[in-house]
Amino acid sequence: MASKGAKRAWLIIGTLVIVMSLWIVALFVSSISGGISGGSAGANYDEVLVEEGASADKIVMINVIGEIFSDPEGSASGATDHNIIEQLERATEDPNVVGLILNVDSPGGGVLASDAIYNKVSEVAEDMPVVSLMGDTAASGGYYISAGATEIVAHRFTWTGSIGVIAMIPNFTEAAGKLGIGMSVIKSGALKDIGSPFREMTDQERQLFQTLIDEAYGGFVKVVADGRGIPEDRVREIADGRIYSGNQAKEIGLVDRLGDRDTAFDRAKRLADSADASLVAYQPVRGLFEGLGFLGVSGAADEIKSELGISRKPGASYLWIP
């Protein structure tokens, strides 16, 4: 008769085998999920009817919900540059689409992702009207991408603005000292470990970072000036990082009118000269095994970094961080 210790060992081994088997199956299904969903542009989204019109014309509403970030391979969900641009391209390829609503509820995000979406929105706006509809929050990068739209509609209590750039660099020197943790650094140049969390930042390093931030800020100012027709000097006066309510933003020219989805839909139809257009949206098609995040190992680390206020990766952001 097997001992209790042996039974316990076999139980542990059996559990590990089951977990590993599930992991392998999930990886396999993940590798072929692209074939299930389709690989061409726009194939990962279904069109759903939001409000029916009397003609074949369509206004497409594209949601930009949550933090904006870059995902060039299209492997993530949410407000990524890949996902938003993919939907914009699908809309332009549909001959029945006569206008767009960019439904923004976002505190912003990465500089490159925000700029990529803005460039595509501006490009599309040259051929058809694009109305940005601001939700609870359309700040920093959320405003950046909206600046490329034909018109901006905000609720009177929307929080928007936060025009500026931020980079948060953690400093663990005090905590590391208390725990007796040190870092030995061997580097090729004085600035090779710039931004290290294990030592204080020097004045030279701070100035270097400030130069990079100022450059990105200048780009943001130009985008707002070009998109809203406001002189750059005036933009800099109102772009000190503060947020504005929809009411305040309208008073200083950052939005065109106050309203809700119906207002944005009406404006898009008027600008497209299509009073009987339908309102549709693109809904992402979920993969067969999507949502099996418990089989991954990176989720916990991302949550801890988020709680500590540490970015997923170093760099500047068009992001409002309270």
Give the strand pairing for 58-65 and 278-284.
parallel
Looking at the annotation, which residues are catalytic?
A: 140, 192
By residue count, the chain amounts to: 322
**Which H or E run contains 137?**
strand 130-139
Q: Which long-range contacts (CB under 8 A, 24 or more apart) does 20-29 make?
A: 22/295, 23/295, 25/289, 26/289, 26/292, 26/295, 29/287, 29/288, 29/289
Whole-angstrom Cα distance, residue 42 to residue 165?
Answer: 32
Bridge partners of residue 198, in order along the sequence: none
Instruction: Identify whether the C-beta of residue 274 lies closer than 8 Å to the C-beta of residue 56.
Output: no
**Which H or E run contains 99?**
strand 97-106
**In Å, what is the CA distance from 167 to each residue of 71, 176, 298?**
19, 22, 23
Amino acid at 248: Q
Close Cβ partners of 160 (under 8 Å, ≥ 6 residues apart): 134, 137, 138, 139, 142, 143, 154, 243, 244, 245, 246, 249, 254, 255
Closest to 114 measured CA to CA, from 212, 260, 219, 210: 219
Whole-angstrom Cα distance, residue 214 to residue 196?
Answer: 21
